[in-house]
Structure 1
């Protein structure tokens, strides 16, 4: 029976914890977070719903030494990173100028909120000598390549490309109601595609759509990603994200059967790709005729939709002109290049701007 450590018990963290607790291969689940009441409530909810040992753990996931100690003492078979400084849904419903400007800049502008915890976790894993798989939910399409540049890439990301895959499968099933099972569907796409896919709103330029490959032969059908019924942005997306992430987590457990899926940031690559997970390792599973270089270049271009112009070999994030323009009248310094050692300062500045 496996031990799984889940860091972060917000809405998605608790959903993933519940899904893992229902997996018969998981015998012990550690739920870790900064808020004692929140962690206790989540643990109690999960253990009351499933036949699994669930333990609440108070953890400040930004403290590298504390995370390293927990990894060394608990020796989990899998770590699931769900924590961030602030929820990506925080600006939903706000209509003040600062919130509008920051939202219009693209989610990469809020990278300091999403990068801090996975950065601390990966440093802690290195310090503790932890070599097991680590799955990161926190904006993996962008945080993954930053961490990879620092030699700290998580094993794989969660959500995003997996969500697109589920949406494409739903659309395929709607037109093949009598089929026993859906065909293999492989996705090459970026987080920047997800909102359009979820709202059934494809980009005008076909070259900017995520790439969908059907069957072993990899027949292209990009429209399939945009044909399921649209769903307005909001926390309902978390239900789909959890459903998309749980097969990946199950496949990373010891003795799990192989899985062919699509997922973001395998080994820190930008964007999402088809992958094969077997023996707790992750490898690309690209369609015939598609090279890794081509897939990576496509996702790097699509990262502009999140506000990323490029990421340097040192992990410094440069933002697009559109991102810079969006906050030019509010706080232009927010869109200056972001090196890893400035994420705390930039997060504090974001806090100041969004409080006004």
Structure 2
């Protein structure tokens, strides 16, 4: 019985559960969360799909609870969709504090995104789980931090995969009667909003990279040609569509998949990958080296406020991030150390209250 454990019973957790249940390749889905929201998610998906769906109460911040669940359930795949506060939590807030924190880039809110996946990956190690773990919580940055600690998830989700879907949409509109070529995308989370809004950066080196066909013909403009979609929770529908094929390819007995997605093995940003037999490998186009691909995404991480990540996982923020919060709470832009996540999350809470 193929079992998938989804940690996080919010909107994305429900969308992922429904997508996997609808695909017919998963027999049992466990939806784990701290509140009773998981009960409604499980009941809804179980009613709509031919799949066993169960709600499990879990505080992902408690490593021992996660390890116990992993040991008892032995899932074939773990999907992490949880965070301490959703990236959309401040959507539409007009107050100066919220505007400043958003302007600083998502890396400033790493204390909301990193703690739970850190707890989960430590529990994975403690439980001796060897199956794949896929992470949807800001993987382009949490992945590299976790990699520094030897705790990188198998793969990240969304972001580059969303860009790939936008390229597909543009190609379908332009050539409705022609088969789609192989599409490979190199891009960072910081570039997703421009892609979704069809807002092409004027500077070519700020655009995500799009490679077509086996030969890798460049056409970066395709990422910005699909109909524009304003930022908001509606992006979750595109995220789910981008995520499910990757998750299905990680299941036992799945066929190979060539796709683009975030943070394979904890690399910064997103890359073209080939998933086969439970393993993930880069699938870079001719002429693009792994070193050059990583360097591109490290530069693009500045758009999220990341200056650099130390060997111990400490994240240093950009000068722009410092300027954004200088008049609100300058300490928010100090380096974010893994051991200080709880204190930094509390500081964010006090500023955003």
TM range (shorter): over 0.9
2:247 maps to which residue? 249
2:9 maps to which residue? 9
Residues 218-275 of structure 1, C-alpha deviations (whole Å, 9 max, x = no match):
0000000000010000111000000000000000000000000000000000000000
Residues 159-184 of structure 1, C-alpha deviations (whole Å, 9 max, x = no match):
000000000111011110111x3110
2:193 maps to which residue? 195
Give the alignment of 1:250-265 within 5 angstroms: 250-265=248-263
1:271 correspondence with 2:269: yes
1:123 maps to which residue? 122
How many corresponding residue pairs? 353
1:151 maps to which residue? 150
Q: d(CA) in 1 for partners of 2:28 and 2:229?
A: 35
Give the alignment of 1:57-72 within 5 angstroms: 57-72=56-71
Q: d(CA) in 2 for partners of 1:101 and 1:26?
A: 43
SS at match of 2:124: helix
Give the alignment of 1:201-350 within 5 angstroms: 201-350=199-348
Give the alignment of 1:54-203 within 5 angstroms: 54-179=53-178, 181-203=179-201
1:353 maps to which residue? 351
Q: CA RMSD in A?
A: 0.6
1:44 maps to which residue? 43
Q: d(CA) in 2 for partners of 1:350 and 1:204?
A: 33
Q: d(CA) in 2 for partners of 1:229 and 1:50?
A: 31
SS at match of 2:143: helix
Residues 183-224 of structure 1, C-alpha deviations (whole Å, 9 max, x = no match):
100000000000000000011211110000000000000000
2:32 maps to which residue? 32
Q: d(CA) in 2 for partners of 1:70 and 1:339?
A: 28
SS at match of 2:215: coil
Q: Tell me the CA shift for residue 331 of structure 1.
A: 0.5
SS at match of 2:23: coil
Q: Tell me the CA shift for residue 345 of structure 1.
A: 0.5
SS at match of 1:22: helix
SS at match of 1:87: coil
The TM-score, its normalising length taken from structure 1, stands at 0.99
SS at match of 2:3: strand
Q: Tell me the CA shift for residue 23 of structure 1.
A: 2.3
Q: d(CA) in 2 for partners of 1:10 and 1:66?
A: 19
Unaligned 5+ runs, structure 2 = none
Residues 124-152 of structure 1, C-alpha deviations (whole Å, 9 max, x = no match):
00000011000000000000000000000
SS at match of 2:345: helix
Unaligned 5+ runs, structure 1 = none
The TM-score, its normalising length taken from structure 2, stands at 0.99
SS at match of 2:349: helix
SS at match of 1:310: strand
Q: d(CA) in 2 for partners of 1:221 and 1:318?
A: 33
Q: d(CA) in 2 for partners of 1:122 and 1:240?
A: 26
Q: d(CA) in 2 for partners of 1:82 and 1:245?
A: 11
